[in-house]
């Protein structure tokens, strides 16, 4: 029996754990230890019962016996064949039943596979002579697979959206005041879900400011559905990887090819104004993952080309970054 348990433990330890899950688990365990230490000062009987439940061979896993208002289900999926998965789940159950800190911590790990919903939206509408604004402001909700609200992640996303839309409204109101009711301007902001797959949820905003001409700008927010957290472009890649250089070089190559094939296309690569030229990818650049699983880089109007080019998008071949991309993001 001991030999069999040792073998199961060895099989479990050899299974690779996703980096994001590893970090989340570590943080959750540390928080749990701190919570338990604080709890022990005032609720020793409850803590004692928790340890007794964890040590009981007949007891359910301790994390299912917690007397808390919030609960989450930890789904442990491993694709390594039936034997490997069974070994991992067996050892995981042993660890949960024998260590109350781990059980307590695991209860607080967000469920893998979050669900993101646009639950409502409000509109900022204003019209005064030739000045007008129509700004749609969505409110989102992030839940685990059991329908439990992931409050922290939801608040972070909605706070960022509110800050972004408030900035647009403030700019419009400042222009309105400066014009004294005599200005000519239209500000429109709308949004769409541009990515919603097993890995990512992405909400894309389209902003148009029209005066003598129209200027288009984009903003895209991304939720990693495995963690429920907001992410940026760098989070798609392995820790410390140089993703900017290969993507920058690929975009430059695409620009040159497009200009060679169509004389009406212009990008700023070797313009007479050096500060206009596209030289490297910004950390904050907008992007999205297409339905075909390809990375797309999005530049606002005037960022890398004259205004008549509008918002421009470059699809990056996965081959360009295949050695540094994290598993599951691109195809």
The model's pLDDT over 225-257, given as tens digits with 9 standing for 90+, comes to: 998 999 999 999 999 999 999 999 999 999 999
Nearest to 223 by CA among 158, 167, 293: 158
User: Which burial class, exposed, middle or buried, applies to 114 when counting CB atoms under 10 A from its CB (0-12, 13-18, 19+)?
Assistant: buried
Give me the helices (H) in the chain, please.
2-13, 19-42, 44-55, 81-98, 100-106, 151-179, 244-261
Strand pairing partners for 295? 289, 316
User: Beta-carbon neighbour count of residue 57 at 10 Å?
Assistant: 5
Place of tokens 């970054």: 321
Fold adopted by 236-331: Actin; Chain A, domain 4 (3.90.640)
Inter-residue contact 187 to 209 (CB < 8 Å): yes
pLDDT tens, position by position, 122-133: 999 999 999 999
Assign 176 a pLDDT band (cuts: 50, 70, 90).
very high
Q: According to the model, what pLDDT value does residue 294 have?
A: 97
Supply the mean pLDDT for the chain.
77
How large a percentage of the chain has pLDDT more than 70?
66
DSSP symbol at 326: P
Tokens matching residue 193: 């879900």
d(CA 19, CA 237): 11
Q: According to the model, what pLDDT value does residue 69 have?
A: 31
| Mean pLDDT value of segment 37-42 | 47
d(CA 305, CA 109): 45
Q: CATH 3.30.565.40 in the chain, residues?
A: 113-231
Backbone conformation region of residue 185, classed left if phi is above 0, alpha if psi is from -120 to 50, else beta: beta
Homologous superfamily assigned to 113-231: Fervidobacterium nodosum Rt17-B1 like (3.30.565.40)
Residue 56 has pLDDT above 60, yes or no: no
Q: According to the model, what pLDDT value does residue 23 have?
A: 53
Q: Can you give 36-96 as a three-state secondary structure string? A: HHHHHHHCHHHHHHHHHHHHCCCCCCHHHCCCCCCCCCCCCCCCCHHHHHHHHHHHHHHHH
Assign 208 a pLDDT band (cuts: 50, 70, 90).
very high
pLDDT tens, position by position, 84-128: 333 333 333 333 333 444 433 433 444 457 899 999 889 999 999
Q: CATH 3.90.640.20 in the chain, residues?
A: 236-331
Inter-residue contact 297 to 223 (CB < 8 Å): no
d(CA 130, CA 184): 5
């Amino acid at each position: 029996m001991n030999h069999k348990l040792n073998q199961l433990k060895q099989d479990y330890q050899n299974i690779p754990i996703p980096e994001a899950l590893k970090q989340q688990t570590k943080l959750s365990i540390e928080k749990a230890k701190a919570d338990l230490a604080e709890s022990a000062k005032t609720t020793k009987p409850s803590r004692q019962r928790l340890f007794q439940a964890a040590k009981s061979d007949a007891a359910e896993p301790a994390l299912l016996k917690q007397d808390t208002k919030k609960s989450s289900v930890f789904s442990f999926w491993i694709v390594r064949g039936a034997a490997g998965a069974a070994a991992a789940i067996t050892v995981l159950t042993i660890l949960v039943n024998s260590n109350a800190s781990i059980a307590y911590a695991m209860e607080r790990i967000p469920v893998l596979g979050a669900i993101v919903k646009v639950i409502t939206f409000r509109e900022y509408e204003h019209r005064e002579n030739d000045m007008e604004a129509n700004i749609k402001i969505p409110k989102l909700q992030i839940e685990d697979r059991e329908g439990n609200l992931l409050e922290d992640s939801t608040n972070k996303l909605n706070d960022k959206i509110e800050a972004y839309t408030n900035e647009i409204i403030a700019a419009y109101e400042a222009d309105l005041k400066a014009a004294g009711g005599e200005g000519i301007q239209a500000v429109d902001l709308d949004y769409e879900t541009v990515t919603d797959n097993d890995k990512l949820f992405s909400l894309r905003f389209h902003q148009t400011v029209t005066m003598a001409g129209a200027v288009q700008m984009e903003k895209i927010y991304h939720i990693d559905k495995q963690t429920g957290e907001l992410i940026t472009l760098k989070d798609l890649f392995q820790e410390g990887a140089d993703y900017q250089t290969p993507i920058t070089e690929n975009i430059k190559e695409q620009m040159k090819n497009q200009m060679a094939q169509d004389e009406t296309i212009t990008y700023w690569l070797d313009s007479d104004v050096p500060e206009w030229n596209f030289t490297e990818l910004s950390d904050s650049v907008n992007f999205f993952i297409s339905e075909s699983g390809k990375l797309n880089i999005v530049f606002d109007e005037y960022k890398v080309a004259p205004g008549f080019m509008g918002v421009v998008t470059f699809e990056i071949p996965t081959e360009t970054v295949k050695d540094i991309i994290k598993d599951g993001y691109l195809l």
